[in-house]
Amino acid sequence: MARVSQEHLDARRRQILDGAARCFARTGFHASSMQDVLAEVGLSAGAVYRYFRGKEELIAAIASEAFAAIRSAFEEASRATPPPTPDVLLGAVLRLFLEERIAGADRQAFARLIIQVWTETLRNEELAGTLTEGYDGMRAAWTTLVTAYRENGLMVADVPADHVARTLIATAQGFIAQQALFGDVSVDVLEGGLRGLMSMSGSPDAESSR
């Protein structure tokens, strides 16, 4: 019997994860059954269970891959001279995450899936570990970028790098929450808002503020 190539195995795994993400985004994680996933993917139960034992493993793999893609984008950005500013970088990452990552997935539905993943961590310790690892990785990546900003004269050095990192992560999380709750939230709005905040030159002195 001919051996199956690694390229074929990787492509099949990608097919399963993309189909599961579309299914969960459209129907909801808890409302989706494995039969729903199989129908979306167009594969037999045996073909899918060869890779994943159930929905929990699928959602953990989707989350893990998303964090890996984000970390890769941040690491590439930190090597640029000068590094892209937060508005440019966050815009690029969110477009990748919400608009390009899962072909055929509605943007608002996928944002709602992200919220479901966050809440699922309250009952799923394995998924909570994946999310914590991803969050810590993003904090470290942003901290590296803040260092690069300072070395290139783009940011003052009087705010701890981790404070900046956590604030920018919160900005991205808030944008995703807005997209999930209200829809029709353009990434352009986030980029423009950040540029506006970045354009502030500092607080007025006490005399001019009276």
Peptide bond before residue 82 is cis, with ω within 30 degrees of 0 = yes
**Do 185 and 107 contact (CB within 8 A), yes or no?**
no
Per-residue confidence (pLDDT) for residue 123, from 0 to 100:
87
pTM listed for this prediction: 0.80
Give the separation between CA 3 and CA 164, rounded to whole angstroms.
50
Give the separation between CA 100 and CA 107, rounded to whole angstroms.
9
pLDDT in tens, the chain (210 residues): 446 688 888 889 999 998 998 898 888 888 899 999 999 999 999 999 999 999 989 988 988 888 888 778 777 877 888 889 999 989 888 887 776 555 555 778 888 888 888 888 888 888 899 889 888 988 988 888 888 888 888 888 788 989 999 999 999 899 989 988 998 788 899 999 999 998 887 655 544 444
**Do 181 and 109 contact (CB within 8 A), yes or no?**
no
Per-residue confidence (pLDDT) for residue 1, from 0 to 100:
43
